[in-house]
Amino acid sequence: MAFAAVTGKMAPRKKSTAKHKADEILIPDKLYFRIGEVATLCHLPAYVLRFWESEFPQLKPVKSSTGQRMYRKRDVESVLHIKRLLYEQGFTISGARQQLRSESKTDKTQTAIPFPSHSTPEIQHIRQGLREILSMLSARRTG
């Protein structure tokens, strides 16, 4: 136990595995990651990732023609979010699943930015330019 100087109370120590905070991880700009790459990147064993796939419906990597798991960037972000919920915020698997469900509900209930009901002159100008390009291309094809 570590001594907390401000309160004078004993505070529990963080586990050494909490050194690698999920916020500090930079995800490379790639389309797909193999499970080994994700495991290394997220500082987790591959078997934990496979287990989380069975526990969290939002974690669904696609499988290649050879059957290998291929994680997209959003899958890696989900892994990091799940890791944060479980390891840093202390959620149970069930609690983290509920938290993710409630987060996805609030994401869906946010209102979308409405498109303007009238076209601005700038948009009309762009449309006219696109129509001219389209007519040039159509004339080329028929000519």
Distance from C-alpha of 86 to C-alpha of 90, rounded to nearest angstrom: 5
What pLDDT score does 29 carry? 82
Global pTM reads 0.58
Tell me whether residue 140 is in a domain: no
Distance from C-alpha of 38 to C-alpha of 50, rounded to nearest angstrom: 11
What pLDDT score does 39 carry? 95
Task: Give per-residue pLDDT as tens, 63-121.
Answer: 988 989 999 999 999 999 999 999 999 999 999 999 999 888 776 655 555 555 566 78
61 close to 72: Cβ distance less than 8 angstroms: yes
Alpha helices (H) along the chain: 35-42, 46-55, 73-83, 93-109, 121-142
Tell me whether residue 138 is in a domain: no
Residue 34, domain extent:
19-107
Residue 1 has pLDDT above 70, yes or no: no
Tell me whether residue 99 is in a domain: yes
**Domain containing residue 102: CATH number:** 1.10.1660.10
Report the chain's C-alpha Rg in angstroms: 24
Tell me whether residue 139 is in a domain: no
72 close to 62: Cβ distance less than 8 angstroms: yes
Distance from C-alpha of 139 to C-alpha of 134, rounded to nearest angstrom: 9
**Least reliable range by pLDDT among 1-5, 28-32, 46-50, 98-102:** 1-5
What pLDDT score does 118 carry? 61
What pLDDT score does 33 carry? 93
Query: How many folded domains does the chain comprise?
Result: 1
42 close to 52: Cβ distance less than 8 angstroms: no
